[in-house]
Amino acid sequence: MYFQEFMVFFFPRAAEEIDWSRGYTFLDKELQQVTRDAELGKRLADKLVQVWRKDGEDAWVLVHIEVQGQERPNFAKRMFVYN
C-alpha cells in the first residue's frame, strides 16, 4: 500500500511529523470494533493506522477516502457523519 506517499501528497505537514523509519501498522480490526454499529453502514474505504511521531510518541491516523462516481441522494449526510 502507498500510505506514506498518500500522506506526503495530501497531508505534507502531518507527514513531516511521522518517523517513517519505524514503519506503521494498519489497525483494521480495531477500527471495525469502534465503527461496526455506524449509522450509515459498512465503510470499506476507512483505514486506521498507527504511526510513530518524530518525538517518539505513537499516534493514530484515521483516513477516509470517498470516491464518488455518480450522484447519490444521501451523499451530504454521509459526509456530515464522517466529519
pLDDT in tens, 10-44: 999 999 999 999 999 988 776 665 555 555 555 55
Which residue is listed with cell 517518539?
Answer: 56
Cell of residue 57, nine digits: 510518541
**Dist. CA 39–CA 36, nearest whole Å:** 9
Backbone angles phi, psi at 70, to 5 degrees: -150, 160
Residues paired with residue 43 on neighbouring β-strands, in sequence order: none
Contacts of 74 (CB under 8 A, 6+ apart): 40
Q: Write down the pTM of the prediction.
A: 0.66
Percent of the chain clearing pLDDT 70 (strictly above): 76
Higher pLDDT, 57 or 37: 57
